[in-house]
């Protein structure tokens, strides 16, 4: 059964089991999504040159099963480091992580 099946124009059924089949195994690695140039930008602007801290957060994000969990990790980091989530670099970082879960968006 596909993820969404239409019974008629106004009603449809969502097959929740099919949603789970499109899970973490199909997620692209953040190491691939973040170019070396952008990595350097994030290291400088968001992590104060702390490559270990950056790699630690990326490792945590790699294990996040969905956007909600990843977003929570990002929010925690931004709060802890007093970085505005609306900062251009923070927004760019969040957008890349978001695209990991929703690549066609």
What does the pLDDT profile of the chain (105 residues) look like in tens digits? 445 454 555 555 555 555 554 444 579 999 999 999 999 999 999 999 999 999 999 999 999 999 999 999 999 999 999 999 999 999 999 999 999 999 884
Q: Sign (positive/negative) of CA torsion 50, 56, 62, 68? A: negative
Q: Sign (positive/negative) of CA torsion 29, 30, 36, 38? A: positive
Q: Which pLDDT tens digit goes with each residue over 43-72?
A: 999 999 999 999 999 999 999 999 999 999
Q: What is the pTM of this model?
A: 0.75
Task: Give the residue extent of every domain in the chain.
Answer: 30-101
């Amino acid at each position: 059964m596909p993820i969404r099946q239409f019974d008629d124009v106004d009603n449809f059924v969502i097959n929740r089991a099919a949603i789970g089949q499109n899970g973490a195994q199909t997620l692209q690695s953040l190491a691939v999504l973040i170019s070396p140039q952008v990595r350097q930008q994030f290291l400088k602007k968001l992590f104060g040159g702390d490559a270990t801290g950056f790699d630690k957060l990326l490792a945590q994000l790699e294990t996040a099963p969905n956007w909600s969990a990843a977003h929570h990790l990002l929010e925690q980091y931004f709060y802890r480091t007093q970085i505005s989530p609306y900062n251009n670099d923070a927004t760019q970082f969040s957008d890349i992580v978001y695209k990991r879960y929703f690549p066609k968006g």
